[in-house]
């Protein structure tokens, strides 16, 4: 955890320094608050950095991902792809695809073909159902992209 603290503190310090530099380009009253906050945040990050060198009685292990990292990483990728592809392929198609992909990554316990079909049906029904409700009934008009 201490190493993670150190990295976080350094990152924040970096943000503060660049924040400070950028704030100088603002007009005086626009730059006031940013500069104050950046100073406070910078000070606190420095404190965190320094404290990370002292042992503390209740130290916890830093764990980025509990359990296997692969499913989590894949899920993050799917999420990113999902959001990015909505404008390209259209909301409904992207959602159907990505929803299905995510259920695969998460793994299911289907043993029979019947359970599999049921699973597919539920996925499609919920996706299409919500889509129709929001797009047609509430007139939200999701992005169309190339398809739907």
Partner 1 sequence: MNELLVNSLTSLFTATNLLLVLLGVVAGIVVGALPGLTATMAIALLVPFTFTMQPVHGLVLMGAIYVAAIYGGSFSAILLNTPGTPSAIATTFDGHPMARRGQSYLAIATATMASVFGGLIGVLFLLFLSPPLSRLSLRFGPPEFFWLTTFGLTIIATLSKKSILKGLIGGAFGLLLSMIGIAPIEGSVRFTFGSVSLQNGIALIPALIGFFCIPEVLGMVERKAEQYTAIPYRRQRRVLQRVLIRIVRKPLLMIRSAVIGTIVGIIPGAGGNIAAMVSYNEAVRAARNPEQFGKGSMDGVIAAEASNNAEVSGSLIPLLTLGIPGAPPAAVLLGALLLHGMRPGRELFTYHGAVTYTFMFSLVLANILILPVGIFSGRWISRLITRIPVTLLAPLVFFLSVIGSYAINRNMFDVFVMLGFGLIGFAGRKMKLHPGPIVLGLILGSICEQGLVQSILMGRASGSILAMFFTRPLSILLIVLTLLSAAWPFIAKTIRRRRAGRSV
Partner 2 sequence: MKMKNSVFRYVGLLGLAVALMVLTAGYAAAGGQTEEEDYPARPVTYIIPFNPGGQSDITAQYQKTDLEEALGTGVVIKHMPGAGGAVAWANLVKTEADGYTISGNNIPHIIIQPLVRDNAGYQTEDLIPVYCFQTTPIGLAVLKSSPYKTLDEFIAFAKANPGTITVGGSGTHSGHHLALLQLEYLTGAKFTYIPSTGAAPSVANFLGGHTQALFANSDDLVGHREEIIVLAIGTEKPFPALPGVKTFKDQGVKMTAGIDRGVCVPPGTPDSIIRTLEGAFDQVCRKPSFVAKMEELGFVMQYMKSAEYTRYIANKKKEMEDALRTLGEIQ
Q: Give the interface with partner 2 as residue ranges (CB under 8 A).
A: 89-90, 92-93, 96-97, 100, 104, 107-108, 110-111, 113, 116-117, 119-120, 123-124, 141, 144, 146-148
The values of phi and psi at residue 34, to 5°, are -55, -45
CA atoms within 13 A of residue 39's CA, in its CB half-sphere = 6
- Tell whether residue 115 is a contact of partner 1 (CB under 8 A): no
* 36-75: contacts with partner 1 (CB under 8 A): 37-38, 40-41, 44-45, 47-48, 51, 58, 60, 62-68, 71-72, 75
Cβ-based nearer residue to partner 2, 84 or 120: 120
- Cβ neighbors of 123 (< 8 A, separation 6 or more) are 96, 99, 100, 103
Q: Which of 59, 60, 62, 86 is nearest to 7 (CA)?
A: 62
Cβ-based nearer residue to partner 2, 56 or 141: 141
Radius of gyration for the chain, computed over Cα atoms and rounded to the nearest angstrom: 24
- Tell whether residue 93 is a contact of partner 1 (CB under 8 A): no
Q: What is the DSSP string of 73-116?
A: HHHHHHHHHHHHHHHHH-HHHHHHHHHHHHHHHH-----SHHHH
Picked from partner 2, partner 1, none, the partner binding residue 85 (CB below 5 to 8 A depending on kind) is: none
Q: Do 19 and 38 meet the contact criterion of CB atoms below 8 Å apart?
A: yes
Binding site for partner 1 (CB under 8 A): 1, 4-5, 8, 12, 15, 19, 22-23, 25-34, 37-38, 40-41, 44-45, 47-48, 51, 58, 60, 62-68, 71-72, 75-76, 79-80, 82-83, 86-87, 95, 98-99, 102-103, 105-109, 119, 122-123, 126-127, 130, 134, 138-143
């Amino acid at each position: 955890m201490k190493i993670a603290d150190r990295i976080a503190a350094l990152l924040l310090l970096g943000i503060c320094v660049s924040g400070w530099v950028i704030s100088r380009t603002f007009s005086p009253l626009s730059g006031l608050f940013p500069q104050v906050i950046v100073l406070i945040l910078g000070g606190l990050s420095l404190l965190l950095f320094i404290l990370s060198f002292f042992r503390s009685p209740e130290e916890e292990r830093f764990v980025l991902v509990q359990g296997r990292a692969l499913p989590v990483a894949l899920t993050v990728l799917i999420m990113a792809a999902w959001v990015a592809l909505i404008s390209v392929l259209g909301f409904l198609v992207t959602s159907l695809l990505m929803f299905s992909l995510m259920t695969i990554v998460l793994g299911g316990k289907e043993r029979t073909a019947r359970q599999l079909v049921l699973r597919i049906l539920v996925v499609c029904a919920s996706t299409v159902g919500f889509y129709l409700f929001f797009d047609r009934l509430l007139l939200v008009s999701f992005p169309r992209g190339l398809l739907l």
